[in-house]
Amino acid sequence: SQTIHQWPATLVQPVGSPLSLECTVEGTSNPNLYWYRQAAGRGLQLLFYSVGIGQISSEVPQNLSASRPQDRQFILSSKKLLLSDSGFYLCAWSVRGAHYESHDSPLHFGNGTRLTVT
Amino acid sequence: DAKTTQPNSMESNEEEPVHLPCNHSTISGTDYIHWYRQLPSQGPEYVIHGLTSNVNNRMASLAIAEDRKSSTLILHRATLRDAAVYYCILRAGTQGGSEKLVFGKGTKLTVNP
């Protein structure tokens, strides 16, 4: 069965420090991968998604970046955190096959990382 | 992206049915209707999806209007564990368009004992 791992669960970082959040998926190949952020009391904001190694689509311009060095690994990074980067960061995956399968494939979310920038 | 409109909040009593509405008047013919829910401090969880016909699974039922401009998620007997934020989302059924899934603010469901 497929599983998604996201770590750490919680993180407290000072303003200006770097960030690296990692997400890995097991039990599937060629998944679509996603990073979402949820600020306190707000909805889910799509940050990045990837349909393959090295293929990253950015939805919101900001001081965050994403990379996909391996098929089932998705990394969210920042060189210098801002207070506004605080939030609940969620990684997700879905099946990627023929295009007519993608819309039928639900997203599977990890347990999230709660980031507090102080 | 096609948009959806949901009430900000709804309340229900335990063991009663719950009907969560979603309007999507600009839906295109190839958009699928997906529902997710998010329990406190957890990632969203897939609930159900459909295109034109009503759908049933172990979690819920999805009723889709004939003109597809609205849909309703039905929880047949609400339990306290169903208290969550429910998101109605449109997912493009076209090549290159279905990868992106954008969430709105959802409906916060409160279940009273």
One digit per residue, the tens of pLDDT, for chain B of length 113 reads 558 999 999 999 999 999 999 999 999 888 889 999 999 888 999 999 999 999 999 999 999 999 999 999 999 999 999 999 999 998 876 655 556 777 888 999 999 99
Residue A98 pLDDT > 60: no
- DSSP labels, B26-82: T--TTEEEEEEEE-TTS--EEEEEESSS-EE-SS-EEEE-TTSSEEEEEESS--GGG
Both tokens assigned to A41: 């009391």
- Predicted local confidence at residue A24, as pLDDT: 96
Asked whether the beta carbons of residue B103 and residue A43 sit closer than 8 angstroms, the reply is: yes
Helix, strand counts (H, E) of chain B: 0, 9
Tell whether B56 is within 8 A of chain A (Cβ).
no
CB contacts < 8 A, A to B, total: 66
Distances B5 to A68, B62, B105 between C-alpha atoms, Å:
33, 16, 9
Asked whether the beta carbons of residue B98 and residue A57 sit closer than 8 angstroms, the reply is: no
- Predicted local confidence at residue B111, as pLDDT: 97
- Predicted local confidence at residue A72, as pLDDT: 94
Residue A100 pLDDT > 70: no
- Predicted local confidence at residue B57, as pLDDT: 92
* Mean pLDDT, residues A83-110: 80
> Most B CBs within 10 Å: which of A10, A38, A44, A59, as the mutation test of the B interface?
A44
